[in-house]
Amino acid sequence: MGQRSRTETVVAVLSAFHRRKKWTQAELARSIGVGTEALRKVLEELQAEAFPLVSDTDRPHVYWKMSNSWCPGGILFKKEDVPELVRQLGRLPRSKARDGLLDVVVDQLPAKGKLLPVPPVASRVLSDQEEQYLPIVEDGAARKVPLFFKYVTASKGVIGERRASVHWIDLGPPARFVATCHRTGELRWFRVDRILHGRVDAGEPFRPSAAAAVEAFCATSLDGYKGSGGPIVCSFFVRDPEARWVANNLLDGMRVEAFHDGIRVSLETSAVIRLARFVVGLGAAAQPENPELAKVVVELARGALEHLASRTLELATDSPAPATKPARPSSDV
């Protein structure tokens, strides 16, 4: 039997398992030209280094098998990088794809319990539409190929066909994206969970948009909303003690200025309606400081009060008369 260096033996063994996943120990030794005892030591060392090798004895043969998931063309991670890989995967929104990747990684973790397989992190769950169509949106953006999709417009509840070129994706929640709408030629926000059917459309030319234009569009939007007009400077004051909660639960883009009795929140946005809904939700604790915002807040609050008054009257009219209270028994005391 010829002599091989340690490195040559390891390379030859891995090359053999790349060609074929299962060998008898004797056959593999003959194939790479080393003794069976020397081969056995190399195979056991590879096992100890987390290679997915398993052995089985069926006298007179000893079989060695490499897992079908092992491929020398894959990406290798250093042992010290694996915990961070597991952490990052665990933070992703839960989906079949994420869970599948976690299973692959955890299944190939080094033995002896040296690494925590999955940390107890609660991540959000993708909706069925997000899990199905978010990869298509990402594919279109990466390849610069437009999307064709059927979309539900929330304000009207109407299903329509759209074509759009995707420029920016916000994973949310909810997952949404900025794209040039081919019908209007303008930048628009779209929510992934409102797509009913979608695919990339290679037959349609992609419509690019300058990075500065997309950045400006996102900067003047608020929580995935973009008004029809230009951006305006808005602000509102929140009194204490509510200010302490509000300061920690602001929407992206809002700026805070602290005072002795509360906070002032300001931003430049065209999505005044979305901002007004936020302010209305704070009730009497918030006071709008510019006419445009105050006008929309008043309209929303008045509409809510009128609806509540109407609904309360309907309930009072429809409610049956209260049952007569039974006579109270006399006391034995």
Domain boundaries, the chain: 6-66, 77-125, 129-219, 232-314
Both tokens of 44, joined, read 């056991």
Handedness of CA 325, 327, 329, 330 (dihedral sign): positive
CA dist 186 and 270 (Å) reads 15
> pLDDT tens string for the chain (333 positions)?
455 677 888 888 888 887 788 899 889 888 888 888 888 888 888 888 878 888 888 888 888 888 866 666 666 676 777 777 877 887 788 888 888 888 877 776 655 445 555 566 777 788 888 889 999 999 999 999 999 999 998 777 789 999 999 999 998 888 999 999 999 999 999 999 999 999 999 999 999 999 999 999 998 899 888 888 888 999 999 999 999 999 999 988 899 999 999 999 999 999 999 999 999 999 999 999 999 999 999 999 888 888 888 777 777 776 665 555 555 444 333
Structure tokens at 81: 């990088």
Give the sign of the dihedral formed by CA 5, CA 6, CA 12, CA 16. Answer: positive
Q: Which residues contact 199 (CB under 8 A, 6 or more apart)?
A: 136, 147, 148, 149
Q: Which residue has the tokens 């003690």?
A: 241
Looking at CATH, the fold of the domain delimited by 232-314 is given as Alpha-Beta Plaits (3.30.70)
SS3 64: strand
The tokens 């491929």 sit on which residue?
A: 71
Name which CATH class applies to 129-219.
mainly beta
pLDDT at 215: 92
Class of domain 6-66 as given by CATH: mainly alpha
The amino acid that residue 215 corresponds to is E
For residue 257, the cross-strand partners are 264
